[in-house]
Structure 1
Amino acid sequence: MLLTFSQGIKRISGLTAFLGSPVQYRYSLHAGRHYSGVVGWGFKPTSVKAQAYAKKHDLPYIALEDGFLRSVGLGVNGAPGRSMVLDFTGIYYDATKPSDLESLILNANYTSEQLERACAAIALIKTHRLSKYNHAPDRCPGSIRTDLKSKVKSDVNSERVLVVDQTYGDASIELGCADAASFERMLLKAIGDNPDAEVVVKTHPDVVAGKKQGYLHHLALQLGCTLLSEDVNPWAILDQVNKVYVVTSQLGFEALMAGKEVHCFGMPFYAGWGLTTDLLICERRGHKRSLAEVFYAAYIEYCRYLDLQDFTLSNIENTIAALAEERGVNGNS
């Protein structure tokens, strides 16, 4: 039996299947029975009670987070997740200390069959144009779409760079060795490195939905950047750009899958392995890893997948198919 102090975690669909053990909810630190571990949501402030109990009782703390292929709808709107990560060491977005994912990448020694599976899964994700969330239409709407496409088609030498904003105060930013200044530095660097390019600033979907705030909206307007605030499929934007600048956003890894040049101003899980141009250095990393190796570690070994039909564990291939089918049924393809 696992313990959680979060009612939100206890209500997760398929939680027992994800964890392989039942979970009991307690609101008090005096839980009064023996547990095999304590689960909490990452290393966010809401997990402090769970971490304290685990430390006091010498129990493993298991950090949970959404997987990299989560759902069609947004989690903040209640969409059930098809994937989840469990980390017994840290969490993937915390570069200040080791994590299970970092260890998987460091120790990557995959067979040719495993790497072929990774490449096939990457190809499927590209074909179906999937991301963490998959509710948005696969097109740039309105005047933004016309502007992007006309400029690219009219000038074969034109360049366009994408700068990715994130939600204000997201734990992945501070734990990814970054802060608000990192976003300003990133935008100024993108403009300075690409003086003849159009700089497009993409706002996070949660900001578009009115749930949260971002970092770059006002600065992007002041500097004359193209502000892409519509909620669109990230692949529709990646189609139109040459380079991608991120702090810690997962979109940077999807850009790598799309074959784009990626610059990191924080330390996301995919930085430090020779795949990206990095502003920061993580001494624990520094080993060269291929895209297939990092993908296999993150998307296949680290993530767990759930079949929402019978709430049993699934795999990445079935999850890709289910997401693609669900999105098509909902008219978002």
Structure 2
Amino acid sequence: MAQNRPDTPNNWQQFAHEHGIEGRPVVAFGFNPHWRPALASFVQGVKIRHVRHPGRIPGGAVVLVWGSRKIAGLPDGSITIRLEDGFLRSVGLGAEFARPLSWVADFDHLYFDAEGPSRLENLLNTHVFNEQEQERAQNLLDKIQEAGITKYNTGYSGWQRPEGKVRVILVPGQVESDASIRFGSPEIRTNMALLSQVREANPDAWIIYKPHPDVVAGARKAGEKEASAPAWCDEVVTEAAMDALLAQVDEVHTMTSLTGFEALIRNKRVICYGLPFYAGWGLTTDKLACERRQRVLSLTELAHATLIQYPFYVSRQTGNYVSPEQILDVLQQWRGSPSSWRAVIKKQTRKAINVVWGKT
């Protein structure tokens, strides 16, 4: 997306125009009923037909799918658009049905899929970021730090760095079945494999392991041998807010977690053992290399593409498209409001569904 003005938010119509898919029938494949209102809010201005069998997709259609899902038997001339959560998402977890405020749209490869170029990677490889864009990105980063905003904005701020520790490392846990590990971490694929390697390489550091919030909430399965984490770290932290942790640690070691990007925003050293979207641009210490990523970027260039050009944002109050600057205000207001009875019911419903599906 070429636009970058705060008063012209990214929107579906602009995306369709820039990629030559205007006027085509739009079909959503496999979206459960509870996510259809969210889909409609991000893909505004077109009629969406929901189907569950490829045989019902007309030729030449734009086919909306979630994540990296593959669909066999698509008709000739159809174009697959892959949708996924953005980086400033909600207050609360997607696994607990918290309403998303940002999504991204891509084609063959989403941002977490290092097996091929995503739209985000192409932006980072080719876009010439002007002074105005970099200034806007820096202002946005300053506001994110000041507000303490992260992707989910959960947890409490009570954690304190142990006194006298010269070097404190955070290892964020991931959901091991997630596509970001499958498509972005070809060598290390489990939390404990990562944690043990970090410990072996940093025997004198104070190492914190933070399990993924979906796992802590009981909404997703714990990783392989995750109960053994205390053998490889000094402290397991479950309830602390990510912003509070990042403010006090020195380094983040990760496979592909978005926490690495959030740490970069806060000027922390980040060591990547996989190939997340923010690796390979000269901002991280990388254990692996991606030959497609040839540029050295500044943090403001990375942030502009990632937070401003790539996602759609939708207001929680109005349902209209908004800018990332506006979404920060929405997230702050949401974070300060008490949980409603509907939110509590959603959490319990999601946990029950995951028990039925075998995800917990």
TM tier, smaller: 0.7 to 0.9
Shift of 1:60: 1.1
RMSD: 2.1
How far apart in 2 are the matches of 1:32 and 1:132?
34
Instruction: Give the alignment partner of residue 324 of structure 1, picking from 332, 357, 360.
Output: 332
Contact 2:91 2:335 in 1 (8 A): yes
In 2, Cα distance between equivalents of 1:67 and 1:12: 17
2:238 counterpart of 1:214? no
Deviation track 1:52-105 (CA, whole Å, cap 9, x = no partner) reads 344x32211000001111111211111111110000241000001111110011
- Give the counterpart of 2:52 among 27, 31, 34: 27
- Aligned sequence identity (%): 35
Contact 2:134–2:300 (CA under 8 A) maintained in structure 1: yes
SS at match of 2:331: helix
Structure 1: give runs of 5+ residues left out of the alignment: none
**In the superposition, relative to structure 1, how do residues 110 and 216 fare at CA in structure 2: closer, same or farther (>3 Å)?**
farther
Tell me what 1:113 maps to.
132
Q: Does 1:227 align with 2:251?
A: no
For the residues of structure 1 that align with 2:120 and 2:209, how far apart are their CA atoms?
29
Q: In the alignment, what sits opposite 1:313?
A: 321
Shift of 1:108: 2.5
> Aligned with 1:329: secondary structure?
coil
The aligned length equals 313
> Residue 56 of structure 2 aligns to a residue in which SS?
coil
- One of 120, 123, 128 as aligned partner of 1:104: 123
Aligned to 1:165: 173
Q: Distance in 1 between matches of 2:314 and 2:47?
A: 16
Deviation, structure 1 residue 35: 5.2
Instruction: Please tell me the residue identity of whatever aligns with 2:286.
Output: D
Aligned to 1:254: 262
Which consecutive residues of structure 2, in runs of 5 or more, have no partner in the other structure?
1-24, 340-360
1:110 maps to amino acid: F
Tell me the distance in 1 between the aligned counterparts of 2:39 and 2:207: 42
Q: Does structure 2 retain, via aligned residues, the 8 Å contact 1:3–1:35?
A: no
Q: Deviations over 1:25-46 (max 9, x none)?
A: 1122221645531011111xxx
Cα distance in 1 for residues equivalent to 2:73 and 2:334: 39
Matched, 1:70 2:89: yes
Does residue 177 of structure 1 match 2:177? no
TM-score, normalised with respect to structure 1: 0.87
Q: What is the CA-CA distance between 1:211 and the residue it aligns to?
A: 1.4
Answer yes or no: is 1:286 the counterpart of 2:294: yes
Residues 182, 266 of structure 1: 8 Å contact kept: no
Query: Is 2:37 the counterpart of 1:18?
Result: no
Partner of 2:307: 299
SS of the aligned residue for 2:252 comes to strand
Partner of residue 48, structure 1: 70
For normalisation by structure 2, the TM-score amounts to 0.81
Q: Please say if residues 246 and 263 of structure 1, whose CA atoms lie closer than 8 Å, have aligned partners that are also in contact.
A: yes
- Quote the offset at 1:220 in angstroms: 2.1
Q: Counterparts of 1:281 and 1:182 in 2: how far apart (Å)? A: 19
